[in-house]
Structure 1
Amino acid sequence: MPVISNSTYKAPFLLGNNHLQTILPTLFRKVKGIRYLRERIDTPDGDFIDLDISPVEAHRAVILSHGLEGKSGRAYMKGMAKAFNRRGWDAVSFNFRGCSGEMNRTSATYHSGRTEDLHTVVQYLINIKNYKTVTLVGFSLGANLTLKYAGEMGGTIPAEVKCAVGISSPCDLISSAVEIHKMKNIIYSKRFLSTLVEKMKKKEHLHPAGISRDYKSIRTLKDFDDKFTAPLNGFIDAMDYWGRCSSARYIAGTAIPVLILNSKDDPILGEECFPYETAASSEKLFLEVPEKGGHMGFITFNKNGEYWHETRTVEFIEQHL
């Protein structure tokens, strides 16, 4: 019954507020010592994916999948890469389509359920880079993607893929969408929406016939997913997209050990994002719910500059190899 009830995370004094935990690392955290080497790989549908690799010449690698409108350069990506490098892992930061600094070729966009791209990265690391051990770590949107991949692959997942961790995972995208559209979270929704719209305007220049120009009607993230994400990626509308891509539908099928790290005070996750019943009846799915931590926060002060969730993630993975 892998529901972990005794989480060890304790928020530092005066940093117990969930919004402070969420915002401060984004604004102020600096992670030094990561120097990426970029490799571009082609996708079966004629697009490309840019990988930023922080190598230590290991035979094992972790694939890091970022959050909504993220990229390899985010502090949370570099922090996790550094934690794995320190323990003898190559870190492969997976930039989703259109997130590496160059717009992708096709009209399709990245989204919470595009597990075929993650599988392309997995196959590249195993078949071309010859890694013998691969593990998966995702953040927020990337966490949902990672968990969905583990669940839908089930027993067909490549033998080299040993385990996975999802941090601040919106396992139920509808529930998470309800939360992020609340007034208390307007600072997050408006920030994401502004960058998503700007990115879509750039994509419009590459695919003028296939993309709506009705930007004035886009007032919420749901509007954006209704108008752009859904039709460009084969979904009926936002609700269809969210429902079909929620990892909660798939995660019970995982054949590898999986850890979900979701803080109880995460401002963006609804109740359905905490799959207690699924974890309680599973031998492979572990759910850990610290009291504090916000969304991708888990701020920690120590000489290594390593945050709690980074230490915990590597610890879990190395325990389950």
Structure 2
Amino acid sequence: MTLHLVTAKLDLSPCPLPVWLPGGHLQTIYSAYCAQHHNIAFVRERVDTPDGDFVDLDWAGPGLFADRLADGTMAGKDAHLQKTAARRWLQPEDWKSLSQHQNLQALILFHGLEGSSDSHYAQAIAQYFRARGWVVVVAHFRGCSGFPNRMARAYYSGDSDEISFMLQTVRQRLPQASWHTVGVSLGGNAMLKHLGEHAEQTDWIKASAAVSVPTDLVACGERLSTGFVGRYIYCPYFLRSMKSKIFDKSRRFPGMIDILRLNHARTLRDFDDVYTAPMHGFKHALEYWTKSSSKQFLNRIQLPTLVLNARNDPFVPPSSLPTLQDVSEHVVLHQPSQGGHVGFTTGAFPGNINWLPARLALFFETGQ
């Protein structure tokens, strides 16, 4: 695959959403729960982190089969992986199946808040590229793979060190591959921040793409925490799983988390004030959001990068979206008027989410 040189540009071309799916909220919610997509099963690798924790990487690729081992022996669904999109654990022999292909294209995907390899966008993107002979790996942030992580800390939107560790891990596994990166929502922000902060360390990556990214976390956090729909629909949805995980951590690490305040958290700002910020070295949510926003690092990115944001994303105020003045010459900003938050459903009813991976593939192929 040949990637053309990229010159910073603003692309306002539309995503062809159907007339029966109007508005950012409906596009967001319908795409997550109702739009059709292929299902793909993964093979899981658990990797220990330098600080004694672990992350789970879900792999798919040519010659790697979720239902059988490298020697052809059939493999049933591992009982420990029942609630995940992975069917079995990766074996040393599996690397031979992946590494024997010449001109191997590979993609690592960083999911969004409380996402996983089972998320609709991860499934759609993984299946699209896997069907075209790519290796795809979904990198789970700590505590998002269906298993609680070992430490009191979890993950946050500006964790460049974690992104770096995951990138270096997959590069070591398949050093001959042409690697591409995709980050969605929170994962996209962390990825873009890393690409800007450590441009000299990421020159081995061929291209990257970020989808529905809250590049200005202050603006996005305020919208979700103060707007009616954000406060009473989206925040409760995210907080349900987030608070459950942290309550579990409080039992394993007594005294480290202010459970009384956490119990009263009603918005993402409340949650980040109580847990995310202090647990990851910030004074409060505002400092966390300010320092972790990727927008301030976009002008340092040195590899071809697509930043795709619908202008009606209910999580991301259009006024907060990056402009050409905010980015380097290597960045293409695609900002269609419709699409919601990772809600790019197209086609006749009931619709599908094939447009999104096809848009990423187009950029990887042409730089446009």
TM over 0.5: same fold?
Answer: yes
Gaps spanning 5+ residues in structure 2: where?
1-6, 63-97
1:10 to 9, 16, 19: 16
Counterparts of 1:1-321 in structure 2, within 5 Å, are 2-56=8-62, 57=98, 59-157=104-202, 159-181=203-225, 182-185=227-230, 186-214=232-260, 215-278=262-325, 282-301=328-347, 305-320=352-367
The alignment partner of 2:229 has SS state of helix
CA distance, structure 2, for counterparts of residue 236 and residue 207 of structure 1: 20
CA distance, structure 2, for counterparts of residue 4 and residue 83 of structure 1: 26
What code does the residue aligned with 2:112 have?
Answer: G
Asked whether the equivalents of residues 301 and 328 of structure 2 are also in contact (C-alpha less than 8 Å), the reply is no
User: Residue 45 of structure 1: CA displacement?
Assistant: 1.0
User: Residue 300 of structure 1: CA displacement?
Assistant: 1.4
CA distance, structure 1, for counterparts of residue 53 and residue 319 of structure 2: 34
The alignment partner of 2:325 has SS state of helix
CA distance, structure 2, for counterparts of residue 166 and residue 208 of structure 1: 37
Give the stretch that moved more between structures: 166-175 or 190-199. 190-199
* Runs of at least 4 residues off by over 3 Å: 29-33, 302-306
What code does the residue aligned with 1:297 have?
Answer: G
User: Residue 30 of structure 1: CA displacement?
Assistant: 4.7
What code does the residue aligned with 1:51 have?
Answer: L
CA distance, structure 1, for counterparts of residue 298 and residue 242 of structure 2: 28
Question: Is the radius of gyration larger for structure 1 or structure 2?
Answer: 2
Asked whether the equivalents of residues 302 and 328 of structure 2 are also in contact (C-alpha less than 8 Å), the reply is no
The alignment partner of 1:103 has SS state of coil
The alignment partner of 1:265 has SS state of coil
1:58-117 residue CA offsets vs partner (Å, 9 max, x unmatched): 533111111111111111101011111122211101111000111111111111011211
Give the aligned length.
Answer: 319
1:230-288 residue CA offsets vs partner (Å, 9 max, x unmatched): 11111111001000100011111101011110011111102453111335x63101101
User: Residue 131 of structure 1: CA displacement?
Assistant: 4.2
The alignment partner of 1:266 has SS state of coil
Give the stretch that moved more between structures: 124-133 or 283-292. 124-133
Asked whether the equivalents of residues 132 and 160 of structure 1 are also in contact (C-alpha less than 8 Å), the reply is no
Asked whether the equivalents of residues 61 and 133 of structure 2 are also in contact (C-alpha less than 8 Å), the reply is no
Gaps spanning 5+ residues in structure 1: where?
none
- TM-score normalised by the chain length of structure 1: 0.93
Task: Give the percent of matched residue pairs that are identical in Structure 1 and Structure 2.
Answer: 35
- TM-score normalised by the chain length of structure 2: 0.82
**RMSD (CA atoms):** 2.0
